[in-house]
Amino acid sequence: MSADDLIVMGKIGAVHGVRGEVKIHSFTDPMENLFDYPLWHLRRDGETRQVRLASARSQGKGLVARIEGLEDREIARTYTGFEICVPRSELPELEQGEYYWHQLVGLQVVNREQQLLGKVSHLLETGANDVLVVRPCAGSLDGRERLLPYTDDCVEQVDLDEGVISVEWDADF
């Protein structure tokens, strides 16, 4: 499976307890959705390995998981920092007008005046709404990074085929 086929859904944090469990940082919403995928592809520093989820639970404000065959704290520690990926083909279909974050990264952002503001570098979750981090690129209006709210008031259209997000945004902001 190529790296482009894998979507990062979370990351393994510190070890938890003495039985090989690890803390999980989920990038899904809600965070427990990560457990819908029992087969994980772990990736770190060019290394990829496939593992099966043995058990998982919410604990406090986070998640704890045990990987099949991983029952020792010191061995579990070697898994710290691995990204948790799943194949793109396993993601559920979205409704019309909904997008996964990974689909938006790299798209050009153009305002109503057809000024190229830059490309989406990544997104941030703020609680109130998601935010597009738009960085300058070749041909962009200027060298400024912009933070644009991913709301209906700002984002007018997303065209994945053309690779463009049309926004209502003043270039002076």
Tens-of-pLDDT digits for all 173 residues of the chain?
666 789 999 999 999 999 999 999 999 989 999 999 999 999 999 899 999 999 999 998 899 999 999 999 999 999 999 999 999 999 999 999 899 999 999 999 999 999 999 999 999 988 889 999 999 999 999 999 999 999 999 999 999 999 999 999 999 88
Tokens of residue 35, six digits = 């457990």
**Residue 10, in any domain of the structure:** yes
Contact 65, 52 (CB under 8 A): no
Contact 145, 133 (CB under 8 A): yes
Same domain for 44 and 108?
Answer: no
- The secondary structure of the chain, three-state, reads CCHHHEEEEEEEEEEECCCCEEEEEECCCCHHHHHHCCEEEEEECCEEEEEEEEEEEEECCEEEEEECCCCCHHHHHCCCCCEEEEEHHHCCCCCCCCCCHHHHCCCEEEECCCCEEEEEEEEEECCCCEEEEEECCCCCCCCCCEEEECCCCCEEEEECCCCEEEECCCCCC
**Residue 96, in any domain of the structure:** no
pLDDT score of 3: 62
Give the integer Cα–Cα distance in Å for 18 and 97.
Answer: 45
pLDDT score of 2: 64
**Residue 20, in any domain of the structure:** yes
**Residue 173, in any domain of the structure:** no
Domain that holds residue 41: 3-89
Same domain for 74 and 135?
Answer: no
Which of 89, 112, 130 is the last residue in one of the domains?
A: 89
Which of 25, 60, 89 is the last residue in one of the domains?
A: 89
pLDDT score of 29: 84
Domain containing 134 — which CATH number? Answer: 2.30.30.240
How would you classify residue 94: left for phi > 0, otherwise alpha for psi between -120 and 50, otherwise beta?
Answer: beta
Using alpha carbons only, what angle is made at residue 110 by residues 148 and 29, rounded to the nearest 5 degrees?
40
**Residue 155, in any domain of the structure:** yes
Same domain for 14 and 84?
Answer: yes
Tokens of residue 163, six digits = 């690779």
Same domain for 8 and 31?
Answer: yes
Which of 89, 113, 134 is the last residue in one of the domains?
A: 89
**Residue 111, in any domain of the structure:** yes
* Global pTM value: 0.79
List the one residue out of 92, 93, 98 whose CA is nearest residue 158: 98
